[in-house]
Structure 1
Amino acid sequence: MSLTARPTRRSVTAGLGAAATLGLLAACGRPDAEPGGGTAASAEPIAEGAATGSLTVWAMGAEGEKLPELLKGFQEQNPEVTVEVTPVPWDSAHDKFTSAIAAGTAPDVAQVGSTWMAEFVGLDALEPTPSEIATDDYFAGALDSVTVDETVYGVPWYVETRVVFYRKDLAEKAGITEPPTDWDGLVALAQAYQEQAGATWGISLQPGGTGSWQTVMPLIWSNGGNVVDEAGGAFTFDSPRNEEALAYYQSYFTDGIANPAPADGTTEQDFVSGAVPMFISGPWMMSAVEAVGGEGFADKYGVFTMPVKESGSSFLGGANLGVFQGTENRDAAWKLVQYLSTPEVQVEWFAQSTDLPALQQGWEDESVASNEKFEVFRAQLDTAIAPPVVASWEQVAASFDAQIEEVCKNDLAPAEALAATQSEAQGIGTGA
């Protein structure tokens, strides 16, 4: 989740208080850190031999609970190392990290939300990745999420991307046998669900609020827009292409296709009942809807890649692994990251957690490749895009979420919303 990953897996920091905290942390840094976002300290080689000593690892949510089981293999290979895993709740993780960085008490290794990378690099908190850890097999969007100013910090650990979940049986009842591939087709399917299959709403979309930008951004990218320039040094929210994409998203609410005030926590039930037979989400929702739907429900629904306007794209989330500056057991820390960066271990992790491998080789394993729904996620990952790698993105995203809510619930003109977001983003700055 940061991006993480999943909308409920992140803590969004907003407002002047967060900006002040960012400035304070940048001033404090970590005791042994080099200035300049880590680029002044070259990536030293990893010492040969087995890992020894002790390591502290922080991981969030379900990953923090399941990681100790995965690390048994690492400890068998390195019997003289001790690894202590601390599970951290996602909703408090960002603040816990920034406080630890300021105090010089960050862990040796940690799961890092994908939208936090540039911020932590700017705080001199993360080490550059040694050359012994190959990065050429990662999905391009995942590698982008760990690349700051052309330097790679850490590695992608697992990935997720968003696709469209839909009730195949109800689509057939509505006379549609193939999933849509473009924006107009998505609208047509949603309306057909309402008109021909008895659905209350044609699709479930988030009408603003925390994380809603994760659904709107793929539409912007698909329409040839973006919210930062190529150099990542300036925001570009208020563009005609972005306005067109946000207007398209708004139309689902103004045209009565999506509920502007959905109840929390009912997506799975509404999907199974057919009241709302389509939504956009990540791979974790497969087990969620199948648990509610029961035996045989897996055959009633399918997934398809995000419909496009100009090009195919979706949000790329997941989480990364980072080694923190000042660790007293650097070599063992990187050996642990190296262990978790092998295809076979990523496949093992998939079996334990259903987190999708960030390494493309991991997808060649039958346990992943044999599921046709996962193959749709695999296809989407080829064009999925990581969020902007700017240090202030958490604050800017919170501002964008608030404006999206005004668009969806209060019929604010998309141009006005984007102008307001642009103004606020410029005031926040990129954190560079």
Structure 2
Amino acid sequence: MTRFLDRRSALRLFGAAGLGLGLAACAGPGGGSSGTASGASPSGLATSGAVKGTVSFAHWRAEDKAVLAGLVKAFVKKYPDAGVEQDIAPSADYQSTALRRIQGSRTGDVFTAFRGAQFQQIVKAGVYAPLTGTDVVDAYQRLLMGPGAQDGKQYGLPYQLVFNMPLANTDALDKAGHTAAPKDWDGFLQLLDDLKAKGYTPLAWPGGDSANAGQLLNVMVMNNAPSDDAFARIESGTLKVTDDWFLGTLEQYAALRPYLQERATGSSTDAVTRLFAEGRAGLLATGSFQMAGVRALGATFPFDLVAPITTAAGKAKYEGVFNTTFILGVNSASTVQPAAYAFLEFLSDPENAGAYANGTGQHVTVEGVEYTNADLRAVAPWLTRKTLLAPRFQFLDLDIRTAVENATVAVVGGKKPERAAEEAQRVIDQKRS
């Protein structure tokens, strides 16, 4: 079994001077960013011209505001006639309102998108100025760029590389007698039992937050699903949530009930993050993107990631889940495209991307970045493990995704798995009719 201590010592493989992003199964070759605002784009994007005017940068990461402000200051020093204003909305609001806000460039000369449904909607609306053929694309690891492409064109640049799996307080796990990651479902339940026996809330889960309640679903299905594209097949109708594999997943959600905090189905992400940060929970069922937020609340304990393995020992195909998201792009209606493109290139420079990563606790997809952030280094061994691209973002119809995710919430709330699955399938069938 892989020991938590061994995960930390594995960092020696990456060198002491800084951690270069190495992905055995996910990464690809790529060049460096030109770092300039010149050049012609065959897609029509204005990449040349005077870099001037105020760029509106629309995104959902309020916790990144200060780090981005520092980068904006450096950008303005390089381009004195330009400026950048951050336009930030909460992630749930951004998911539902971003297209309306950025269409017509009322805001968001540079903007971000979630992988999956939102990205597809924005591409369909013609808001992205395609980046195919521009120099900035070469700054990124090519095999991680798929979520920002469609029909052979690169519309956006997935900037963040995150792990959508429970964040662990390894001090708590050590006290519970677990120095190794569970390799099967019985082992995971035993871990939760042992955490509970030591007085911890074993698994803090934000069941009342639609943006994050479904993060746990990624790892709950990664080894249960009959195919890697199972959620896409549920949406197309070739699989159903009443199939045995998904019913089995819902039964496993039911088995988690005794290990979640009180009123789990109504808990917000902020509430469970505080619970975890205060050292009262062993696992936080969101992802690596919460590390900086936990630190901001004063936590000093070491981190790791622990994915529930839902199969019997030796039957798991994947060890965990990753996602490439925060898809950066330039607005096709922007009146300051040269400045917007210059800012995109600036963020894509390895030194600046490293400043973002280390300051925010987010791995990035830019080539050549070195990580000095202790938490990023702690979870770095996951960069080379066998992980699945987060399946919940396969859903392109958000109503269908919500129906599937709501079934898990309903089961945690006490509903029988069969009934929850039937109700979700009715919604799916209605959406497809």
- Normalising by structure 1, report the TM-score: 0.73
Residue 283 (structure 1) aligned to one of 281, 284, 288: 288
Task: Give the equivalent residue in structure 1 for 2:30.
Answer: none
Task: Give the equivalent residue in structure 2 for 1:36.
Answer: none
Task: Give the equivalent residue in structure 1 for 2:121.
Answer: 119
Task: Give the equivalent residue in structure 2 for 1:403.
Answer: 407
Task: Give the equivalent residue in structure 1 for 2:317.
Answer: 311
Task: Give the equivalent residue in structure 1 for 2:58.
Answer: 58
Task: Give the equivalent residue in structure 2 for 1:418.
Answer: 421
Task: Give the equivalent residue in structure 2 for 1:213.
Answer: 214
Give unpaired runs (5+ residues) of structure 2. 1-40
CA RMSD, Structure 1 to Structure 2 (Å): 3.6
Partner AA of 1:425 in structure 2: I
Residue 331 (structure 2) aligned to one of 324, 327, 331: 324
Question: What's the CA shift for 1:227?
Answer: 4.1
Task: Give the equivalent residue in structure 1 for 2:76.
Answer: 75
Question: What's the CA shift for 1:423?
Answer: 3.5
Question: What's the CA shift for 1:111?
Answer: 2.3
Question: What's the CA shift for 1:315?
Answer: 4.9
- Normalising by structure 2, report the TM-score: 0.73
Contact 2:193 2:202 in 1 (8 A): yes
Q: Deviations over 1:6-28 (max 9, x none)?
A: xxxxxxxxxxxxxxxxxxxxxxx
Question: What's the CA shift for 1:321?
Answer: 0.9
Contact 2:114 2:326 in 1 (8 A): yes
Following the alignment from structure 2 to structure 1, what is the Cα–Cα distance between the partners of residues 171 and 101?
51
Following the alignment from structure 2 to structure 1, what is the Cα–Cα distance between the partners of residues 274 and 374?
28
Task: Give the equivalent residue in structure 1 for 2:36.
Answer: none
Task: Give the equivalent residue in structure 1 for 2:44.
Answer: 44
Aligned in 2, Cα 1:67/1:291: closer, same or farther, shift over 3 Å? closer
Following the alignment from structure 1 to structure 2, what is the Cα–Cα distance between the partners of residues 322 and 59?
11
Q: Is residue 397 of structure 2 the alignment partner of residue 392 of structure 1?
A: yes
Following the alignment from structure 1 to structure 2, what is the Cα–Cα distance between the partners of residues 128 and 229?
25
Contact 2:49 2:338 in 1 (8 A): no
Matched residue of 1:421: which SS? helix
Following the alignment from structure 1 to structure 2, what is the Cα–Cα distance between the partners of residues 387 and 257?
23
Question: What's the CA shift for 1:58?
Answer: 2.0
Q: Deviations over 1:55-103 (max 9, x none)?
A: 3322332334542321233333333334333333444334543333556
Matched residue of 1:303: which SS? strand
Contact 2:395 2:401 in 1 (8 A): no
Task: Give the equivalent residue in structure 2 for 1:10.
Answer: none
Following the alignment from structure 1 to structure 2, what is the Cα–Cα distance between the partners of residues 102 and 228?
29
Task: Give the equivalent residue in structure 2 for 1:247.
Answer: 251
Matched residue of 1:99: which SS? helix
Residue 128 (structure 1) aligned to one of 105, 127, 130: 130
Partner AA of 1:378 in structure 2: L
Task: Give the equivalent residue in structure 2 for 1:223.
Answer: 224
Contact 1:64 1:86 in 2 (8 A): no
Following the alignment from structure 1 to structure 2, what is the Cα–Cα distance between the partners of residues 319 and 273?
28
Give unpaired runs (5+ residues) of structure 1. 1-40
Task: Give the equivalent residue in structure 2 for 1:186.
Answer: 188
Question: What's the CA shift for 1:337?
Answer: 1.5
Residue 141 (structure 2) aligned to one of 123, 138, 141: 138
Question: What's the CA shift for 1:215?
Answer: 0.9
Following the alignment from structure 1 to structure 2, what is the Cα–Cα distance between the partners of residues 206 and 88?
19
Task: Give the equivalent residue in structure 1 for 2:149.
Answer: 147
Contact 1:55 1:84 in 2 (8 A): yes
Contact 1:51 1:331 in 2 (8 A): yes
Matched residue of 2:68: which SS? helix
Following the alignment from structure 2 to structure 1, what is the Cα–Cα distance between the partners of residues 149 and 238?
19
Following the alignment from structure 1 to structure 2, what is the Cα–Cα distance between the partners of residues 371 and 324?
31
Question: What's the CA shift for 1:202?
Answer: 2.9
Q: Deviations over 1:331-353 (max 9, x none)?
A: 33223212212222110112333
Contact 1:250 1:408 in 2 (8 A): yes
Contact 1:135 1:143 in 2 (8 A): no
Contact 1:158 1:357 in 2 (8 A): yes
Q: Deviations over 1:272-291 (max 9, x none)?
A: 66653223233354345456
Task: Work out the percentage of aligned pairs sharing the same amino acid.
Answer: 16
Aligned in 2, Cα 1:104/1:427: closer, same or farther, shift over 3 Å? farther
Partner AA of 2:353 in structure 1: Q
Following the alignment from structure 1 to structure 2, what is the Cα–Cα distance between the partners of residues 173 and 108?
50
Contact 1:139 1:381 in 2 (8 A): no
Residue 349 (structure 2) aligned to one of 342, 346, 350: 342
Matched residue of 1:314: which SS? strand
Question: What's the CA shift for 1:223?
Answer: 2.1
Contact 1:108 1:327 in 2 (8 A): yes
Question: What's the CA shift for 1:367?
Answer: 0.8
Q: Deviations over 1:178-236 (max 9, x none)?
A: 222333321111112234x244x432234465132221122212223444347985573
Contact 1:139 1:360 in 2 (8 A): no
